[in-house]
Amino acid sequence: MNGDSFRNRRNGFQTMNGGQNNPPTKNRSAGLFAGIIIIIFLLIFLLFNSAYEIKEQEQAVLITLGRPQAVTEPGLHFKIPLIQQVKKVNTTIQGLSIGYNTGSNQVNEDESLMITSDFNFIDVDFYVEYRYSDPVKAMFASKNPLEILRNISQSCIRTVIGSYPVDDVLTTGKNEIQAAIREMILERLEEHDIGVQLVNITIQDSEPPTVEVMEAFKAVETAKQGKETALNNANKYRNEQLPSAQARADGIIKDAEAQKTERINEAKAQVARFNAMYAEYIKNPAITKQRMFYETMEDVLPDLKILIEGGNGGVQTIYPLESFTGDSDNTDSSKAADLQPSDEP
């Protein structure tokens, strides 16, 4: 067998086998390039899904095969892609309205209409401020923690409003009502333990449900304000008058004390004088009596206006003393004519 026939047989055998023992180089290069591209994209995907960032006002829940774990430290953190998942929770103070819609600013009568202890209807709007205190409980303790907070708040609000009269809800009792509602909501949230913390609750507005009742309550409020004004004016007048009245009272008391001291001293002087006279009387009774008689007559005689002289037969003659002292010109002539002798039986 020559060489040409052997080469022809070999070529025919390779043709019959489809050339499987010698694949094209171009197909192998394309497959290798596609594999490299897929590996690069897979690495990029894993790289971007293995890191996450927590901001200052956030907390995260790292879920590993269904098991949650809280991550509270802010900054850059890493996780295992496709095995661990991260859910973030906003921990800033947020709010929800009860009784009105914040977007449209319209009253929601189903939430705002309430009844007071004195059986009056009233519309009351509240604003509840809250924050997430435990991100794990906020996500897994309940399906909708905000709806639970809303229901608890409405229940507590209606309970407290129903224990106060309408005047307190409209005017003076708002602070006390807010405090009572807050304490009750805190107790209920502690019982449910849903990872939500109440920050504050305030009454936005309270008014009667109808125009007529509203006008009546406005009139009552005006009267109360007038009462307060009158009381303030009265207190002001009292504060102005009290110092002067106190000063007058002090002056009267001082005058009385002065008169008291003066009379006591005068009484003491009279007692001392009486004791001195009594001591002299003990020594010389007759002389003392005569001296006392003369002193008494000196005090009495200047006040006498007439002189009565007894006559024979019981007839008395009355003479005016002014005629003996030279004051007859100053007396009335008709007074002398009226002085007639009188007879005594």
Q: For the stretch 150-184, what's the b/e string if a residue is b when 16 or more beta carbons lie within 10 angstroms of its beta carbon? A: bebbbebbbebbeebebbbbbeebbeebbebbbeb
**Residue entry with tokens 């995260």:** 60
pLDDT confidence of residue 151:
94
Closest CA to 100 of 64, 75, 124: 124
Q: Is the pTM of this model over 0.75?
A: no
Closest CA to 72 of 83, 84, 85, 57: 57
Q: Is the pLDDT of residue 316 over 50?
A: yes
pLDDT confidence of residue 283:
82
Mean pLDDT of 49-66: 80
**pLDDT tens, position by position, 15-52:** 444 444 445 566 677 777 777 777 777 666 666 667 77
Answer whether 129's CB lies under 8 Å from 93's CB: yes
The winner for highest mean pLDDT among 11-20, 47-56, 68-77, 313-322 is 68-77
Q: For residues 321 and 339, which has the higher predicted lDDT (pLDDT)?
A: 321
- Is residue 194 helix, strand or coil? coil
In the chain, the percentage of residues whose pLDDT exceeds 90 is 26
**pLDDT tens, position by position, 169-186:** 888 889 999 999 999 999
Q: Is the pLDDT of residue 79 over 80?
A: no
